[in-house]
Structure 1
Amino acid sequence: MANIFTSSIGKKLIMSISGLFLILFLLVHLLANSAYLFGPEAFDLIIVIMGSPVVVAMVPVLAAGFAVHIAYALILNRMNMKARGAQRYEITHKGEADSWASKNMLILGLIVLGFLVFHLSHFWAKMQLPEFTGGHAENVNDLMHLTFGNPYIFVCYIVWFVALWFHLTHGFWSALQTIGMNNTKWISRLKGLSYIYATIVCGGFIVIAVTAFLRANGYIG
């Protein structure tokens, strides 16, 4: 068991499993936020569901998933910087050296992390956090219009989603390969699946952001 936490392979496995957990969360998060496209009432209903005790109880688990993934990503990057030649982490997976995203995973990850903090400060801190502190939660539809109605913030979100897209296109298939799906015949299929998933998730978030921007500025109802 100790080798899982101390060996290079074990650390990659932990980062991959935590990454797949977060990838699943992104899909659930997209499906929940898609309710915004159907109007304020539908979105308010989803927010009520997300405020249920079961969902709230998952917050620490989700936070732990992020913490583990980030920590092991930094640890592995440090190991990679110390490594030499063919043992470098970037090329431990077949075909990985050919991917621009694979060479910039840390930078992409830091961009995603930085804006995640910004996102949490604009939504979670004003909606879910007050439930723990006894404060007053703000209306989610008002927050959507206030946030995405600002063209500068809107553009920043689009950049964030693009960075997330690149991060997912490599991270998804690489994680699957690490947990055992490393047959050479499956590499192209896994990459294809990663691109499809990343496009659906990030494209979905972009559609929601664009819709919020248009509604906030009175272009659509």
Structure 2
Amino acid sequence: MSWFSKTFTSTIGRKLLVAVTGLFLCSFLVVHLVGNLQLFKDDGGAAFNVYSHFMATNPIIRTMEIVLVLGFLFHIYEALVLTRRNKAARPTEYAYNRPQDNSNWSSRNMGLLGTVILVFLIIHLWNFFVPARFGGLEGVVVENVEYDNLYLKVVQSFEIWWYVLIYVLGMISLGYHLYHGFQSAFQTLGLNHKKYTPAIQTFGAFFSIVVPAAFASMPLYFFFKDLLN
């Protein structure tokens, strides 16, 4: 086995992969959020449909989608392997165990949170990504150009209470997952410093609240808008 294989199949190597892919996925969340904020424009969905068309047809974006999928797969797989190794290393619980005394709830339940996020992601991709990439959407004309009306699909989905509930639960899980994962990634990368670590932790807490809350505001906005009309 080469040094490369040994490095990235070791526990430390796998933790590094989880950290790097996790931070990469955080950058994707920001980009995705900025684009989705087009939903709040009072233009009948024109800006969002143009944005969605650009994301679906730009060759650079399509290439990055492959990188993104690989990032998700590596992050999920390596996290699962680490979880199994940790359980194998301690097959039985201690007789006296008070984990809440030295760890927060999110750090002890990263597997559960990740599973909820994965389930949400599968439902979300099936509902939006598949129709957007493989057809099945109505057309709409924006400035004499016809686009797929993904905005209509979004509005219709966010008027369904159980889908909104799944979405919000997914974002709550994402928030807890980010709360521990963000600062843990920097720690794994060895970026610990008495001056900068508190700032990283503060920004991580801010990020884990604001980003999921912004995403969750979208289905809630359309659901209550429809409810009040």
Q: Does 1:150 align with 2:142?
A: no
Q: Does 1:56 align with 2:75?
A: no
Normalising to structure 2: TM-score of the pair?
0.83
**Whole-Å separation in 1 of the counterparts to 2:61 and 2:101:** 36
**Whole-Å separation in 1 of the counterparts to 2:101 and 2:121:** 26
Normalising to structure 1: TM-score of the pair?
0.86
Larger radius of gyration: 2
Give the AA of the match of 2:123: F
**Residue pairs, 1:18-167, within 5 angstroms:** 18-39=21-42, 40-51=45-56, 52-84=58-90, 97-128=102-133, 130=134, 135-138=135-138, 139-167=149-177
Is contact 1:170-1:191 (8 Å) kept? no
Is contact 1:154-1:213 (8 Å) kept? yes
Mark the CA change 1:140 to 1:33 in structure 2 (over 3 Å): closer, same or farther: same
1:189 offset after TM fit, Å? 2.7
**Whole-Å separation in 1 of the counterparts to 2:204 and 2:49:** 31
Is contact 2:137-2:153 (8 Å) kept? no
* 170-179 or 96-105, which deviates more: 96-105
1:205 offset after TM fit, Å? 0.4
* 167-176 or 56-65, which deviates more: 56-65
Unaligned runs of 5+ in 2: 92-99, 139-148
**Whole-Å separation in 1 of the counterparts to 2:85 and 2:222:** 42
User: How many residues end up aligned between the 2 structures?
Assistant: 205
**Whole-Å separation in 1 of the counterparts to 2:65 and 2:101:** 33
Mark the CA change 1:162 to 1:96 in structure 2 (over 3 Å): closer, same or farther: farther
Q: Does 1:9 align with 2:1?
A: no
1:153 offset after TM fit, Å? 1.1
**Whole-Å separation in 1 of the counterparts to 2:79 and 2:101:** 16
CA RMSD in angstroms comes to 2.0
Mark the CA change 1:74 to 1:203 in structure 2 (over 3 Å): closer, same or farther: same
Unaligned runs of 5+ in 1: 86-94
**Whole-Å separation in 2 of the counterparts to 1:160 and 1:126:** 21
Is contact 2:157-2:163 (8 Å) kept? yes
**Whole-Å separation in 1 of the counterparts to 2:36 and 2:198:** 31
**Whole-Å separation in 2 of the counterparts to 1:8 and 1:96:** 25
